[in-house]
Amino acid sequence: MLIRRERAADIGGIAAVHRSAFAERAAVPAGPNTAPGAAPDPVEVGLVGALRGGDAWIPTLSLVAEEYGAVVGHTCLTRAAVGPFPVLALGPLGVLRERQRDGIGAALVHAALGAADALDEPLVGLLGSLDYYPRFGFAPAARYGIAPDRPEWAMHLQVRPLTAFEDRIAGEFRYADAFYEL
């Protein structure tokens, strides 16, 4: 397996990964171009597309896991903020359903965190599983004086300070606009 930057030719494969990974939670109604009887796309498929088209997109931090020439996993880091401080947000993270629990998601998270740290980013935040993400050093955001801008997110907002983190980075966490347009 190879972890690398996303290429233009990967866009369809990335959508397929998120479609597979989140199929059980599909919540976006079928659009006018959807084939009759086709299942609606999971929110994450549209979210990646919306992020890719926005100002928060960082092309060098959109990563795929490739195996035998096929995309089997994807994650991205996009620009977010804690108060006035620029930080990153991780997600979505998706792995083909049949390849989940094979270490692909973990490899993507490690690669993303390593890339962010190498770029001197101070912190990565996410909304995610309290059982999964702590193994990568994520902790409840409240421990660092960081709160979500939506109170209902408080239980699942986690952050991972990186080498460039400073204690003065505290306040309200805000995702890229695309996260609020779901």
Q: Which one-letter DSSP state was computed for residue 178?
A: G
What is the percent of the chain with per-residue pLDDT over 70, rounded to a whole number?
92
The pTM score is 0.92
- Say how far apart CA 15 and CA 44 lie, in whole Å: 8
* Half-sphere exposure of residue 35: CA atoms within 13 angstroms, side-chain side: 3
Q: What is the mean pLDDT of residues 35-64?
A: 91
**Residue carrying the six token digits 């490899």:** 107
pLDDT-based confidence at 39, cuts 50/70/90?
confident
Q: Is 9 exposed, middle or buried (0-12, 13-18, 19+ CB in 10 A)?
A: exposed
**Residue carrying the six token digits 């409240």:** 142
Residue 54 has pLDDT above 60, yes or no: yes
